[in-house]
Amino acid sequence: MSDTWSLKFLRERIQSLGLSDADDVIARINSIGRAVLIYEYHKRLARDAFEIFSTENDPSGRCLTTHFFGMADDGIVLWEAGIVSEANLIAAINITKGMFDSFGQLVNRLVLCEPIVGNVYLHLVLKKLPPSPLRSELSAATSSEWFNYITAFINSVKHSQLVTHGASVSFVDDNRGGKLKEFTHNGKHYPSYWAREILEGVVEIQKSLIVCGQALNNAEFQRYKHQ
**Residues in Cβ contact with 138 at an 8 Å cutoff, skipping those fewer than 6 apart:** 107, 126, 129, 212, 215
Give the pLDDT score at 177: 74
Q: What b/e sequence results for 23-56 when a residue is b if at least 16 CB atoms lie within 10 Å of its CB, and e otherwise? A: eebbebbeebeeebeebeebbebbbebbeebeee
Give the pLDDT score at 161: 60
Give the pLDDT score at 146: 97
The 10 Å Cβ neighbour count of residue 171 is 9
Give the pLDDT score at 172: 47
Q: Would you give the distance in Å from CA 35 to the centre of its chain?
A: 10
DSSP string, 210-225: HHHHHHHHHS--GGGT
217, burial (CB in 10 Å: exposed 0-12, middle 13-18, buried 19+): middle
Give the pLDDT score at 226: 47
Block means of pLDDT (10 residues each) for the chain, 227 residues, are 86 88 92 96 93 68 64 70 90 97 95 91 95 97 97 83 64 69 91 93 97 95 61
Q: Would you give the distance in Å from CA 147 to the centre of its chain?
A: 8
CA separation for the pair 19, 199 (Å, rounded):
38
Closest CA to 48 of 170, 154, 143, 178: 178
pLDDT in tens, 36-61: 999 999 999 999 988 876 667 666 66
Give the pLDDT score at 53: 66
Domain ranges of the chain: 7-224
Closest CA to 100 of 64, 70, 75, 125: 125
